[in-house]
Amino acid sequence: MALSQQGWRAGMDGRVCPYCRFPVLDGEGAVVCPSCDTPHHRDCWEENGGCARFGCPHSPGMRPQSPLVVELSPPVRQSAVALRHWWEGSLLATLGAVALSVLITVGLILLLVGLFGP
């Protein structure tokens, strides 16, 4: 898209650039959008990649974008070994082992008391 001051008309001097919100003055190297006749500072036009007015065909958001390509892989299943390693180092496994030991000990004491009586 060629950048030029073509389209600059009387009365455009002092209009606000939609990109930087500062007035565009005659002789500043302005660019007038060929679609919507909005004046921009040349630097603003170049930095934005086109017209800064929403919905204008010359705005960068209105240009077709290349499609987004996403490669999907099948879900990874955790093996039993990986789950066992997770379980072995966890606090829950430690508490479970302590609780099981306490239950076995209490069960044996009750069994012995029941067999031999007080």
Alpha helix (H) ranges present in the chain?
Answer: 42-48, 80-88, 91-116
Say how far apart CA 46 and CA 19 lie, in whole Å. 11
The predicted-structure confidence for 41-98, as pLDDT tens digits, reads as follows: 999 999 999 999 988 988 887 555 566 666 777 766 666 666 566 556 677 777 888 8
* Domain extents in the chain: 15-60, 90-118
- Would the pTM of this model clear 0.85, i.e. be above it? no
- Any idea which fold 15-60 has? Herpes Virus-1 (3.30.40)
Residue 11: band (very low, low, confident or very high) from pLDDT cuts 50, 70, 90: low
Report the C-alpha gap between 19 and 17 in whole angstroms. 5
Q: In this predicted structure, what is the pLDDT of residue 106?
A: 92
